[in-house]
Chains A and B, each alone.
Chain A
């Protein structure tokens, strides 16, 4: 835990009403097979508060039309609200300009956009792309596709036994052929928070642009793209209390302008003849077709919701949950936590001696406990720790300590079944 979180912790836990915040999430009142839902799969997708649900309903019932097109009232309202959502996202990550925020269908789409828009234009045969062992498949596969197409090479930053990147090894990978870095901010499988500022600075000393996959970071810590000086930053709405089907790509305006479009279609053009098409300016150049308008507006509402609570408060509270859960799970014989980085978000990947993660997941589900089991779309991480899969409990600010207790009791039930 970092010192900032430690100092905040005492203030937060005493005077912040997390039970009241929890009440904002109607789905958390569900019972599964008669047992209260204990939702610990937030790293896969988080739940939506009533405020965001209401915003979606308000949009659909009073504001919906297609944007950037007609002159009628609803089209103007929808266009304005969509633009407002972009501005909320701009502020959320402290981007310099709103046109640096592109709405995409999510993190995977954002990364693919950069691969096609930047990679296919600027990466050549013999060039090298640096990725890390911690990457989600979505920040591996697009670059492999590019490398195969161009004859470029992927170099991989190793991790240590705690699941931390070996930054010294990262720095050694740079040479005159290095042309791009793809870096996960927070590991979805282990929760490791990577020292991205230092790594971005190092890449920039070599003139290499850096894409940050922030899918697991943006919901849990303040993001300042200007302070980070990253070239691209991506995340999805549905992991931060918003709807599925929308995410953003932040990119520095100069880079976005230099890139080629990813998808062709309506809205991304300034003029079209059969001889020649002139592309629209950013962000529109990258938003072909009718975007997920409702979802983007819901995304804006989710950002408002989190900002009102305060991302720092969320980080501090989740850190107390992580400390408590780590302590409790470490105390159970036969349970091993995979990923013990000094800097972590509230994600605990674990194994239980002699019991397959899928059996663990199925039996926990019987007690209403939702965890993720499997390889978490991060097979290189599993290979590094020599396990086929893990169980993963991932926490959000609406979780509480009694739910950690429920997980502990559930794990003991699992162990009893397989005794």
Chain B
């Protein structure tokens, strides 16, 4: 595959100027995501009111793919209900591992720029980490790790950091 198709302008832009970067002072939910294989670390805080994500922020140390994925994710889920966010988490994961048919109806919108990641198995976890961490935050699991389970979005083991 051509890696150029992964490092598209939209991804580079979100890496350069990440949206919703920082930490919410009065977060109702919080989780820290780790990828022990590469040392990436992501901190997600969000405010959930009446099952709606009113505000969300992220910060951390990571590669461009992870940071852009986190930035676009926060933009995508802000204002969405918890169940809409979980749908996006599921669809994004399917996209990253090449299981989503993007010709069928889905809710990912511009997030499909990450479709090229499926051809780079070693980088799939970079793109998924923010989503994995969001899932952990929504379910009040403080720590998330890409190495907790073969199926990271489905299961997390708290404290594996």
Contact = CB atoms under 8 A, between A and B. Distances in A.
Contacts of A362: 3, 6-7, 120, 123
Interface string A365-399: 11000000111000000100000110000000000
Contacts of B126: 358
Interface of B: 1-4, 6-7, 12, 15, 37-40, 61-65, 120, 123, 126
Nearest to B125: A358
Contact of A388 (B1, B6, B38): B38
A389 B3 contact: no
23 contacts: A355-B64, A356-B63, A357-B38, A358-B38, A358-B123, A359-B63, A359-B65, A362-B3, A362-B6, A362-B7, A363-B3, A363-B7, A366-B3, A366-B4, A374-B37, A374-B38, A375-B39, A382-B39, A388-B38, A388-B40, A388-B61, A389-B39, A417-B12
Contacts of B39: 375, 382, 388-389
Interface string A9-32: 000000000000000000000000
Interface residues of A, number: 18
Contacts, number: 45
A389 B6 CA distance: 22
A275 interface: no
Contacts of B40: 388
Contacts of A353: none
Contacts of B3: 362-363, 365-366
Interface of A: 33, 355-359, 362-363, 365-366, 373-375, 382, 388-389, 417-418
3 closest A-B pairs by beta carbon, nearest first, are A388-B39, A356-B63, A366-B3
Nearest to B64: A359
Contact of B65 (A358, A382, A417): A358
A22 B57 CA distance: 52
Q: Which of A356, A358, A374, A418 has the most CB of B within 10 A?
A: A358
